[in-house]
Amino acid sequence: MNIFIKLGICLGLPLVVLLLPVTAFPIEGLSLIEQRVIAIFLLAALCWVLEPFPIYATSVLVIVIELLLVSDKGLIFLRSGAESEGFGTLISHKAIMATMASPIIMLFLGGFFLAMAATKYRLDVNLARVLLKPFGQNPAMVMLGLMGITAIFSMFMSNTATTAMMLSILAPVLGLFKAEDRGRIAFALSIPVAANIGGIGTPIGTPPNAIALKYLVGEDAISFGSWMAFAVPFVIIMLAFAWVLLVKMFPAAQEKIELNIRGKFQRSPKAILVYVTFTATILLWLFGSAHGMNSYVVAMIPVAVFSVTKVITKEDLKKISWDVLWLVAGGFALGLAMDKSGLARNMVAAIPFDQFSPYLVIASASALCLLMANFMSHTATANLLMPIVVALAVSMDSLIPLGGTQALILCVTFAASLGMSLPISTPPNALAHATGYMQTGDMAKVGVIIGIVGLLMTYAMVFILRQIGFV
């Protein structure tokens, strides 16, 4: 598609939304600020899909437009009438700017430092040599091994940190493929897919799981072990499906990967420091409950250690993928605007779920969650939907035969983690996209298929669990 046509679509449709009267939208009580957020959302979605310019530039554009149109320090003539009815609530400019330095951005930075240090001192090469050796030389089996390792790590530590670590291990493997070999697309996608799916396996694997547990209380309470009892089989099945899907969609041209990864673990003081810091950071991520630090705080440790000891120098800092950080920040800013303006909440509340059949309610709520999770933070999506979903479940007696509150919450929670169609859908997706081995379209195809199949699998497992009295 011609670049000018893309620009026309990306800029024209949001402009039309801005010019329409508020009454033209099928959302009751829509404010002027919410209308502007709709236009920003449409602009971001179109630009991230059509890519008239780099996707990180879209994120920066989103942040700047939010500051101009909907912040409390935006253009003065666009803030006039802020006290009038129907104008809406202006968003703090500090909150919008803070998305550029959110805890997850710091987690990214820590992952980048680990990856750079590992590459500089060949830790990634040696780990690849050790971990991949049992899986032979068949490309499909090597990818299966990578996905399995990634999924297990993601059950107990940050999906983002796991992806950053595994992509650093994967780098020498990707270098073995020829430029035209589509197999390297499968390999690059396998890590974020496995991380996103693996996070479902435990209550601490991903924030939406923890949010769900907050509402699963009393008779609906689910223990850590019980969660794993049904979530781990789900992860295994979905991981196997994703593996087959990637192998079929992006077959490797070469029949085997010659993993001639040679070398020894270096023994210089700085190399040993890298090994110790790398191992300590991973252990701290894994055992957060033991020391009380969350993954964001832990991520700053390698940044400090490697900077002070000059493991990472000023020249190394120039190699950090700052575009990825901007990309993720733009997604956070979009989610913030939808949350603080009340748009996301009003969009969800505008759908009369209580008038539908219980089957349609479960399908609609989880499908809506999946759709929102592709464009917003999974955590923000869960935070927005969960209170409404719980209230809906409590008020609908017709849901009881299908598992009641548990069934609806589990379906919506799993749907949140299955949103992985775009680079901005999850931090692992953004990290993988930054490798440059795939197009947004490749990620979208795989993400949509896995999302739909994952929803169907969720419904099937909840039905089976209901039959055996688990929910």
Q: 260-300: per-residue pLDDT in tens? A: 656 677 888 999 999 999 889 878 876 767 787 877 788 89
Structure tokens at 223: 């223990």
Residue 54 resides in a domain:
yes
**Gap between the Cα atoms of 411 and 433, Å rounded:** 28
Q: Transcribe 70-95 into DSSP letters.
A: TBTTS-HHHHTTTTSTTS--PBPHHH
- Say whether both 248 and 303 belong to one domain: yes
Q: Which of 207-211, 274-278, 320-324, 384-388 has the highest mean pLDDT?
A: 274-278
pLDDT at 303 over 90: yes
- Say whether both 108 and 235 belong to one domain: yes
**Gap between the Cα atoms of 205 and 228, Å rounded:** 10
- Say whether both 132 and 247 belong to one domain: yes
- What mean pLDDT do residues 95-120 have? 84
Quick one: DSSP state of residue 342?
Answer: S
- Say whether both 45 and 148 belong to one domain: no
**Gap between the Cα atoms of 53 and 3, Å rounded:** 9
CB atoms within 10 A of CB 83: 6
- Say whether both 69 and 120 belong to one domain: no
Q: What letters, b where the CB count within 10 A reaches 16 and e where it falls short, cover 254-270?
A: eeebebebeeeeeeeee
Residue 456 resides in a domain:
no
Q: Is 309 helix (H, G, I), strand (E, B) or coil?
A: coil
- Tell me the pLDDT band of 7, cut-offs 50, 70 and 90: confident
CB atoms within 10 A of CB 250: 22
Backbone angles phi, psi at 91, to 5 degrees: -95, 140
- Say whether both 158 and 300 belong to one domain: yes
Q: Which range marks the domain in which residue 32 is found?
A: 1-98
- Say whether both 108 and 243 belong to one domain: yes
Tens digit of each residue's pLDDT (9 = 90 or more) over 114-154: 878 887 887 766 766 777 778 777 888 888 988 988 888 88
Structure tokens at 270: 């700085």
- What mean pLDDT do residues 98-112 have? 83
Residue 440 resides in a domain:
no
Residue that is last in its domain, among 49, 74, 98: 98
- Say whether both 69 and 22 belong to one domain: yes
Residue 300 confidence (pLDDT): 92
- Say whether both 239 and 276 belong to one domain: yes
Q: Which residues pair with 71 in a beta bridge?
A: 91
> Whole-angstrom distance between the N-terminal and C-terminal Cα of the chain?
49
Residue 448 confidence (pLDDT): 93
Give Cα separations from 52 to 11, 44, 45, 162, 423 (angstroms): 10, 11, 12, 31, 15
- Tell me the pLDDT band of 2, cut-offs 50, 70 and 90: confident
- Say whether both 188 and 291 belong to one domain: yes
Q: Which of 74-78, 116-120, 388-392, 462-466 has the highest mean pLDDT?
A: 74-78
Identity of the amino acid at 259? L
pLDDT at 363 over 80: yes
**Gap between the Cα atoms of 386 and 388, Å rounded:** 5
Q: Which of 99-103, 135-139, 232-236 has the highest mean pLDDT?
A: 232-236
Which residues, other chains included, contact 157 with Cβ-Cβ below 8 Å and sequence gap of 6+? 282, 285, 286, 295
**Gap between the Cα atoms of 244 and 253, Å rounded:** 16
Q: Is the dihedral of CA 390, 151, 435, 306 positive or negative?
A: positive
Q: What letters, b where the CB count within 10 A reaches 16 and e where it falls short, cover 318-352?
A: eebbebbbbbbbbbbbbbbbbbbbbbbbbbbeeee
**Quick one: 369 exposed, middle or buried, by C-beta within 10 A (0-12, 13-18, 19+)?**
buried
Residue 32 resides in a domain:
yes
- Say whether both 162 and 24 belong to one domain: no
Residue 125 confidence (pLDDT): 64
Residue 211 resides in a domain:
no
- Tell me the pLDDT band of 197, cut-offs 50, 70 and 90: very high
Residue that is last in its domain, among 52, 81, 98: 98
- Tell me the pLDDT band of 258, cut-offs 50, 70 and 90: low
- What mean pLDDT do residues 105-110 have? 81
Indicate the pTM of the whole model.
0.69
In percent, how much of the chain has pLDDT > 70? 90
Residue 334 resides in a domain:
no
Residue 335 confidence (pLDDT): 80
Residue 382 resides in a domain:
no
| Residue 104 half-sphere exposure toward CB, CA atoms < 13 A | 24
**Quick one: 237 exposed, middle or buried, by C-beta within 10 A (0-12, 13-18, 19+)?**
middle
Residue 336 resides in a domain:
no
Regarding predicted confidence, which is higher, 215 or 439? 439
Residue that is last in its domain, among 317, 337, 355: 317
- What mean pLDDT do residues 330-339 have? 83
Q: Are 177 and 254 in contact (CB under 8 A)?
A: yes
- What mean pLDDT do residues 74-80 have? 87
Q: Is 28 helix (H, G, I), strand (E, B) or coil?
A: coil
Tell me the average pLDDT of the chain. 82
In percent, how much of the chain has pLDDT > 90? 21
- Tell me the pLDDT band of 400, cut-offs 50, 70 and 90: low
- Say whether both 60 and 128 belong to one domain: no
Angle between helices 378-395 and 404-417 (to 10 degrees): 160
CB atoms within 10 A of CB 58: 27
Tens digit of each residue's pLDDT (9 = 90 or more) over 25-40: 877 778 999 999 999 9
Residue 1 confidence (pLDDT): 63
**Number of domain units in the chain:** 2
**Gap between the Cα atoms of 210 and 202, Å rounded:** 9
pLDDT at 349 over 90: no
